[in-house]
Amino acid sequence: MRVRGVSARTRAAIRRVEDQEMWPNAVAKALSRLEWAFQQPGRYLNASETPSPGLEVEDARDDLELALRLLPLGARRDLGRLIKRIDEEYERRTLPEPNNTEWAVFGWWWTRARER
């Protein structure tokens, strides 16, 4: 899988991070999972009836955050531009969930509610 929308240099840096610290295609798969979720109809993102740890869109965002922390600065900025757009769409399609504030230590995206 190929990460679209970033430079060849960033793709090479992502591959190095995946080889050394993550798993093959971790970033592309996370981006794909979020892209799929955003293509679903409706104003708000749907939540699973039964949560699937590791397969939720929040888990995909966790994977992207890990990659950002591990990438060198230039690649972090390049990938960060894609993630900024993802974050804006995620925030637009979810609602604040005040009962999940303890989850903020894992990432602000865990404090948002999806529609059930």
pLDDT digits (tens, 9 = 90+) for 34-68: 999 888 887 777 766 545 555 688 999 999 999 99
Instruction: Calculate what percentage of the chain has a pLDDT beyond 90.
Output: 59
Is the residue at 80 inside a domain? yes
Is the residue at 90 inside a domain? yes
In a 10 Å sphere around its CB, with 0-12 CB exposed, 13-18 middle and 19+ buried, how is residue 73 labelled? Answer: exposed
Given this model, what pLDDT does residue 111 score? Answer: 87
Tell which wins on pLDDT, 111 or 42: 111
Predicted model pTM: 0.88
Range of the domain at 77: 8-113
Is the residue at 3 inside a domain? no
Given this model, what pLDDT does residue 100 score? Answer: 72
Number of domain units in the chain: 1
Rounded (10°) angle between helices 26-39 and 57-70: 140
Given this model, what pLDDT does residue 54 score? Answer: 57
Given this model, what pLDDT does residue 50 score? Answer: 46
Is the residue at 2 inside a domain? no
Is the residue at 1 inside a domain? no
